[in-house]
Amino acid sequence: MNIDFSKDLSIKSLFPQTEFEEKVISFLKEWYSDSKTVSVQTSGSTGTPKIFEIEKDRMLHSAKMTCDILRLQKGDSALLCLPIEYISGKMMVVRAIERSLKLVIKTPTSTPLSGLNEEIDFCAMSPLQVENSLDQIHFIKNIIIGGAAVSENLKKKITQTLKHSITQTLVYETYGMSETLSHIALKEIFPVSEAYFKVLGDVEISLDERKCLQIFAPKLNPERLQTNDLVELKNEREFRFLGRIDHVINSAGLKIYPEELESLVKKEISNELIFLGIKDERFGQKLILVIEGAKTEMLENKLSTIIYPSKNHHPKEILFLEKFPRIPNGKIDRRKLNETVDHKN
């Protein structure tokens, strides 16, 4: 189903053919209702899932920031392929409304661009969706990737795929959360590979005493948002994500940021992987690398070539699991994975 927000729209004239299209129309009815707010569900990737109300005006401000930075114009096309229950999917619809875009609606799958044979001006996708759509991403002019960190391996694949393409595709990694109404910062992946996220609009950033990111964006959220994300500030507009403070592993007195090690290893292998700290009498926490998929000789050979920052950053054990536990939006459930590995040890 396609919805052209550049023309007069009557929700009654829309006839959904799928369950997902019904959900989109249900959201549109909520959006065009007299209520000043809409309900949004958090993903639960960093805590217990919850539902909260967000003012429509704040969502429109967030949408305008994104549309402005990507220079989207009235009549441009956008592809919705993310769950409408979460802020990521809802904001794609709101961006289409705010900028009068033509919205192409596809039921969210891990291969959202399957069968696509037309150019799309804008699309938001998860890393897994991009990974499974590399042969089609040249059809999209502006891609933002969110929901999980973009691995170095995937960045390489994106660059290798697009560097010989005759089309001009811009690809960005996003930083944000439900409370910031999707992203508040972008980092270009292609054609330029940037190291730091750049905040949008009038968003202000700072550090707390733990060196975790604080966000002040009153047009998005009236409260100063305190994150548990350890970051390095380059200046008042740019930052580099180091990892979540609640993921930090204390092994033999050394604080280890698992996200940094994951990024290092993913330069060599494409499998999903997680570094965990398991309780250990000798080390306090024993550093373990868990890899999704079957153990192969090729994988073991690639793993043996990785140079870690120090011997204490080298995993004491490497485990292979056929399938990682995930939450409904596809993110890896670190807590369940930690429990699974803990039981195995």
- What is the structure's pLDDT at 47? 55
The structural domains of the chain, with segments of one domain joined by +, span 2-202, 248-344
For residue range 101-140, list pLDDT tens digits in order. Answer: 999 999 999 999 998 888 999 999 999 899 999 999 999 9
Over range 6-28, report the average pLDDT: 92
Domain 2-202 maps to which CATH number in 1.10.4160.10, 3.30.2320.80, 3.40.50.12780, 3.30.110.30? 3.40.50.12780
| Mean pLDDT in residue range 151-175 | 92
Mean of pLDDT values over 183-187: 96
CA dihedral 141, 111, 196, 85 (to 10 degrees): 100
Instruction: For the domain covering 248-344, report its CATH number.
Output: 3.30.300.30
Q: What percent of the chain has pLDDT over 70?
A: 96
What are 216's two structure tokens? 């002040």
Assign 115 to helix, strand or coil.
coil
Q: How far apart are CA 285 and CA 254, in angstroms?
A: 10
Query: Which residue, among 1, 184, 186, has the nearest Cα to 79 in the 3D structure?
Result: 1
Cβ 257 vs Cβ 242: under 8 Å: yes
Tell whether the model's pLDDT for residue 345 goes beyond 70.
Answer: no
Amino acid, res. 134: L
